[in-house]
Amino acid sequence: MSYGEPSAHPSAEPPNRPPAPPPSPPSRTLASARDLIGAPGERLSLGVAARLSRYLQVLTQAKKMGKETISSQELSDYTHVNSTQIRRDLSGFGKFGKRGVGYNVEALVSQIRKILRTAGQHNIGLIGAGHLGQAIASSEIFADHGFRVVAIFDSDHAKVGSKVGSQLVRDIAELRQVVEEEDIVVGVLAVPTNAAQGLADELVEAGVRIIFNYSESLLDVPPEVTVHTSSPAVDLLYALYFYLT
């Protein structure tokens, strides 16, 4: 087969001074990054990590377009995250922006990468040299965020040995060896649904702990393995919701 995120009591107040106002209730709609993150060194909450990743995606593209500054409202327009939430998320990590000027794009990209612990380069093993696999291998989307496709695999002997971008397609039988040699940390599945689970099993056995799944298969993996499934249909449903509401 070819593999085609205590107010003071009023009586305690000095004379001639009005009682202290009651404390403001916590917001129920906007989460504080400081509350969600916890103490330094702890993991980000899923919500904060997901939003920071979306900000980074927009900022990376803005940087490529030559944009030097960006406002929280502009980030909101592109991510559909409330601009107040954006400012709250970012202020939880320090002062990044200037009122009336916005955020420095390059500096914010660097800071968010550090927060997400994605600074540096991470190697990817891509399984599936069909049309989808070739499109993924040829795209700059991973490279823009510090990921590099270092190996491509397929079980179709007609594809093995052929070139996709700068990579030669390898036989799937070489997976375990290449994962170790190339220090692959992410496995990308660009394969048919019926082949995905077996190949996910092989990635896990080879030591890969992050799997990006482009198939519709609901992968069954050990708890220490993270799976992210990307579905164009889900993205369309998300976009449709904003169109209809």
How many domains would you assign to the chain? Answer: 2
Same domain (yes/no): 73, 165:
no
* Confidence (pLDDT) at 5: 37
> Is residue 179 included in any domain, yes or no?
yes
> Is residue 1 included in any domain, yes or no?
no
Same domain (yes/no): 185, 87:
no
Same domain (yes/no): 200, 159:
yes
CA distance 105 to 63: 6
> Is residue 156 included in any domain, yes or no?
yes
* Confidence (pLDDT) at 182: 95
* Confidence (pLDDT) at 184: 96
Same domain (yes/no): 103, 60:
yes
CATH number at residue 87: 1.10.10.10
Domain that holds residue 144: 122-235
- Residue ranges for the chain with pLDDT beneath 70: 1-42, 97, 119
CA-based nearest residue to 133, from 147, 154, 148:
154
Tens digits of per-residue pLDDT, 58-91? 998 899 899 999 999 999 999 989 999 999 988 8
* Confidence (pLDDT) at 39: 41
Domain boundary among 93, 115, 137: 115
* Confidence (pLDDT) at 1: 55
Same domain (yes/no): 213, 150:
yes
Sign, CA dihedral 141-213-192-149, equals: positive
Tokens of 211: 């799997």
CATH number at residue 223: 3.40.50.720
Q: Does pTM top 0.95 for this prediction?
A: no
Same domain (yes/no): 149, 218:
yes
Same domain (yes/no): 225, 147:
yes
Same domain (yes/no): 217, 193:
yes
CA-based nearest residue to 129, from 99, 96, 162:
162
> Is residue 6 included in any domain, yes or no?
no
DSSP labels, 18-30: PPPPPPPPPPSSS
